[in-house]
Structure formats: structure tokens, C-alpha cells
Structure 1
Amino acid sequence: MSKPALLVTAADLAPQALALLQDFEIVYAGKTPQPADIVALARRHDPVAIIVRYGQVNAEAMDAAPSLKVISKHGSGIDTIDKVAAAARGIEVKAAVGANAAAVAEQAMALLLACAKSVVKLNDRMHHGHWDKATHKSVELAGRTVGVVGLGAIGRRFARIAAAMEMRVIGFDPFAKDLPDHVRPVDLATLWSEADVISLHCPLTEENRNLLNAQTLSQCKRGVIVVNTGRGGLIDEAALLAALESGQVGMAGLDAFAQEPTPANHPFFGHPQLVLSPHIGGVTSDAYVNMGIAAANNVLAVVGKAVAA
């Protein structure tokens, strides 16, 4: 009997994950799979499971694979999976919760430090022969207030790093329980008004899309630093640009964008108050292995016994 198919919406998977999935026929969708590519492969191979790294899995892809039992995210954010369609079809959706928490939290802090210390600007100036010691002033983060939106594994880890740097940490997450002592829970209105830094670590939902917009940014401290390593849709990008131009936002460090990859003419490019990275917060050699193993184990938790039988 041939092995059941497992579709990976990427061109590779960590060897440690593949070792767990040796009872499956692995089908790769390539480096940048489009929804139509995923549908076509699902129709051709009828996978029992899909591991999602890139691209979107929609209802059409699910209908193309009648044997599909589980969609497992190679990461923590499942907004690229149509969860409503999956539930209607009895397909489980699972995330690799916490597998990339260290990587993303570190990237968020790296972006914050780059903004507060003008790392990118000063590096560029130095390479062009300038010595700005007499004129430059950085932001000292110790004693400042950081507002963390989303207190799952990543947000909590970022909060712990910030607290270790003697920052005052406030946080908003209506679902979080048993918060550590160094995080003071607040409502969003309080977070906007008190935070010197806002760092976004929540999943994207229809309820929080454009959470940071012209209205909410106007409620923040003037010169606030914004960091987003969550999802691009959490920020109204036009409103953020306007706030940067007016000085309401001092700097922003972004690892997620409304459209990915970002178009070549994106207005963010070249902006002196923006530090950008291409959604690589969770892309480290360690996280690659951890997320692969977690995604594989989530598949096996649903279909492992059936495969073994």
C-alpha cells in the first residue's frame, strides 16, 4: 500500500521533522506557492495533512483533498488558513505554539534597539565618513514604558527581556491568564496613553485588523516607538506613515506587512524613520527545526495512529 500524502507549502522541511514523517509521501509546493498551486497539488495528491509554511490554504484547497484531516502551521500564526472552512469540513487546524518564541521575541527587541539607538542611520553615516558624536542623542530604554499587545509565548518572552532591561512593562491580552509579576495588565486605552514603546505580538483577526490606525495612534504619546513582529494587517500602513511624518510616531521597526512580499514601490522603502526586515523574526536555524518538529508532531497527533494502522 502506498504511503498517504502530506503536502508542505514550501520547498523544504527540517530533517528532524522529516524523520518523524517517514510514513508519509512528502509533496513540496515550492518556495513561493500561490493558492492555485496549493489547490492543484491537493487535487493531484489528495493529502491527509498539510503543513503550512508559505501561501494560503483556502476552502478550495480543502475541497480538492477529500482525505484531508489536519492543517498544521509551521509557526504560530494561522491567519493564512481559512479556519471557518476547516471547521465546517471537520479538518483540524493546529499551530506550532511557542516553537519560534525566542526567535521572534529577539527580533522584536532587535528592532526596538535599532530604533531607539538609531543603529541603521548611524551605521550608514559612519560608512559615508561622518562622525555624529557631538550631535546625536539616542533614546535610553531603562525606565521607559513598553506596552505589549498579545501575551502569548512570544509576547511574554519579549516582556521578560524588556523587564530585564529595567523597562516598565504593561500589557493587553483579554485571553491571558497567570501573568508574571513584571507585566501589569491594562486596557488598550491605558496602553496607548502610557506606552513609550508599543510592541505587537497578537494574532491577526477581523476584530483587531488595523488595530493601530489614525485614531489609536493619536491617543499615544508623541514620539512613541512602534514595533510589529506579528502580522502586517494589525497596522493601517497609511496611518502609520502619516503619524511618522507628523512626529506622532518617532520610529517604527517592522517585520510584517499588509502585502508580502512588499511591492517594489512600497512607500515604506527609504523612509528614514523606519527599520524594516522581511518577516524573518521566526527564521533562525533553531526555530526552523523547532517549528518543523512541532508541525510534524501536530500532524501525527491527528493522523499518526491512522497511518500506523
Structure 2
Amino acid sequence: MSTILVTGADLAPQALALLEGHEVIYAGKTPTESDLVALCGAHDPVAIIVRYGKVGAAVMDAAPSLRVISKHGSGTDTIDKVAAQARGIEVVAAAGANAAAVAEQALALLLACAKSVVALDARMHAGHWDKATHKSLELGGRTIGLVGLGAIGLRFARMADALGMRVIGFDPFARNVPAYVECVDLLTLWRESDAISLHCPLTDDNRGLLDTGTLAQCKRGVIVVNTARGGLIDEAALLDAVRSGQVAMAGLDSFAVEPMTAGHAFQAEKNFVLSPHIGGVTSDAYVNMGVAAATNLLQVLSRQPAVVG
């Protein structure tokens, strides 16, 4: 019986049903590289389903039978794809499986920022009534700039269009972009957006995409939303921009280092709305991502003959 390693503590029952006939081993909620190396050494899996932690060359080398690494989600930046390719290991992702969940989280963060949801809730619970002094931002008629027009970005674009927003987007790889999304270059996006939402994968080319320089090119008082990867933002630059008012509010679901450690500078700032990278964590997405991850790895295993001897 071949083994499949899950870098997490569980997998949806619907996904497990697809993997019947394989032995499924769990690495736990917060597996380290040494944990994964040890498990691969002990069990020699033919496939790894990646939920948490990173899978690099050392993990791959500890599993000589490994033929496929399947991401439980869409972002594969935690997998060393160069190392995998060099070893003939296929990397697959559950693209679009959590698109609805993440797009809804992006919308929730945008609305929370524009409508001061968190601050007003705290004031109300403290016994205040700020109707005479508070004004929220109306999104209708304003411009939202989307960096990334994949499954999540386009789903969010439809929501923004329904709010009456002008939707502009940048994605050199986008296909079948709907008419209500105007494709622009990045400089135009920075200059014209009243709010910016990131929906692209993290690569070596776009790491720190939002930094001191790009934030300075944005409209003063822009809202920044990130439900993609924390590495897309230079966090020190964003902190300075929020403190100066160049960025009015930031709604963030992902961070450069996760989990966020106590004492992170964002935690003390009132103009940050934060969530612990749970955009894709819904009961529906959990099933969708698990089933997609299992299906993808089985497709790879079915077309690759096992190496004997």
C-alpha cells in the first residue's frame, strides 16, 4: 500500500474517500521541515498534500518514491518548484477551489475598511453613539484596482462591479477578462485606484510589490486589501504609509511571517483590519480544496508509471 503524507492534521472525509487504498499519514497542524523529513524517511510517500509548512529539497530527498506534490489550495509558493522539477516531481494545485471563500474575505475586508466596521463596533460596545461625527466612505463610483485576475480576482471583480465600482486590473496572464474589468498597466493602477486588492501568486519577480515607491505613486488615502500572500507587501513600508495617511486603511489576511507573532507592529495600529489567513477557510472550501488536491494527485499517479527497483 502506497503512502500519502498530508502536511496538516486532517483532510475532508470526501477527499479521504477518494484516497481509499492508500495509507494517509498526517504531519500535524504546524509541521517543521525536520518533522516532514522524518515522516518522509519513515514512510516514503508517493505523494504529499501540502496544507501547512514548506516542502523543499530536503523533504523531497527524504522520499525517493515521491512523484507528486499537491497543494491543498491555489498558492504554491511554499513548495520549492525548482527542486521538484529537477527531481521529476510534479507540482499541482487546487486552483479555484477556494475562489468564492477568498473573494468574499477580500470583500469583507474592503467593506470593513471603507465602513469603519471594527472601530464603530468597538465604540458602540463602549457605549458611544457616533452618528453625528462619523462619515464612512461610499464605494459606488470609486475605482478598485485588482492585481491578479485569476479565479479569485475575477470573482472579486464581479462583486466590486455589483457595488457600482469602476474595476481596473493588471494581469499579463489573464484570459477571458469580462467587459466590466478594464485592463491597465501597474502605474495606471497605482495612480487611479481608490482601493487596491491583491489576488496574484507570490513569485521572485513580485515580492515586495507594494513598497515605499509604489505606495507613494498611489492616491493619498487609498485602501489596501491583501488576501493573497504577505510577501507581496513590504510591511515596514505599509506601516509607514498607514501612519502618514498615504494609505487610509489596510485590510490584511496574509503576512510576511505566519503565524503573526505577539508584538507585531500592525497589532497596535487602529487603521489595520487583520484576520489570520482564513480567507480560504470555510467548511465548503475545506471540502473543495481537499477533493481537488486528492483528485489532482491521483491523476498524476495514474499517468506516471511507478519506478521499480
**For the superposition of Structure 1 and Structure 2, which TM-score range results when normalised by the shorter chain?**
over 0.9
Query: What is the identity, as a one-letter code, of the residue corresponding to 2:259?
Result: P
Do residues 103 (structure 1) and 112 (structure 2) align? no
How many angstroms does 1:167 deviate by?
Answer: 0.4
Aligned to 1:280: 278
Deviates more, 1:34-43 or 1:230-239: 34-43
Q: Return the alpha-carbon distance in structure 2 between the equivalents of residues 222 and 52 of structure 1.
A: 39
Q: Which runs of 4+ in 1 moved over 3 A?
A: 304-307
Q: How does 1:1-309 map to 2 (within 5 A)?
A: 3-304=1-302
Q: Return the alpha-carbon distance in structure 2 between the equivalents of residues 217 and 23 of structure 1.
A: 52
Can you give the 5+ residue segments of structure 1 that lack an aligned partner in the other structure? none
Q: State the TM-score, normalizing by the size of structure 2.
A: 0.98
The two structures, once aligned, show a CA RMSD in angstroms of: 0.8
Q: Return the alpha-carbon distance in structure 2 between the equivalents of residues 23 and 247 of structure 1.
A: 57
How many angstroms does 1:304 deviate by?
Answer: 3.5
Q: Secondary structure at the match of 1:269?
A: helix
How many angstroms does 1:23 deviate by?
Answer: 1.5
Query: What is the identity, as a one-letter code, of the residue corresponding to 1:283?
Result: V
Q: Return the alpha-carbon distance in structure 1 between the equivalents of residues 291 and 67 of structure 2.
A: 18
How many angstroms does 1:280 deviate by?
Answer: 0.2
Q: Secondary structure at the match of 1:146?
A: strand
Q: Secondary structure at the match of 2:266?
A: coil
How many angstroms does 1:270 deviate by?
Answer: 2.5
Can you list the C-alpha shifts for 1:251-296, whole angstroms capped at 9, x where unaligned? 0000000000011010000211000000000000000000000000
Query: What is the identity, as a one-letter code, of the residue corresponding to 1:118?
Result: S
How many angstroms does 1:70 deviate by?
Answer: 0.2
Can you list the C-alpha shifts for 1:64-109, whole angstroms capped at 9, x where unaligned? 0000000000000000000000000000000000000000000000
Q: Secondary structure at the match of 1:123?
A: helix
Identity %: 72
Q: Return the alpha-carbon distance in structure 1 between the equivalents of residues 268 and 302 of structure 2.
A: 49
Q: Return the alpha-carbon distance in structure 2 between the equivalents of residues 259 and 107 of structure 1.
A: 20
Can you list the C-alpha shifts for 1:135-166, whole angstroms capped at 9, x where unaligned? 00000000000000000000000000000111
How many angstroms does 1:52 deviate by?
Answer: 0.2
How many angstroms does 1:36 deviate by?
Answer: 1.1
Q: Secondary structure at the match of 1:115?
A: helix
Q: Return the alpha-carbon distance in structure 1 between the equivalents of residues 43 and 210 of structure 2.
A: 42
Can you list the C-alpha shifts for 1:185-225, whole angstroms capped at 9, x where unaligned? 00000000000000000000010000000000000000000
How many angstroms does 1:125 deviate by?
Answer: 0.3
Q: How many residues align?
A: 305
Q: Return the alpha-carbon distance in structure 1 between the equivalents of residues 21 and 201 of structure 2.
A: 32
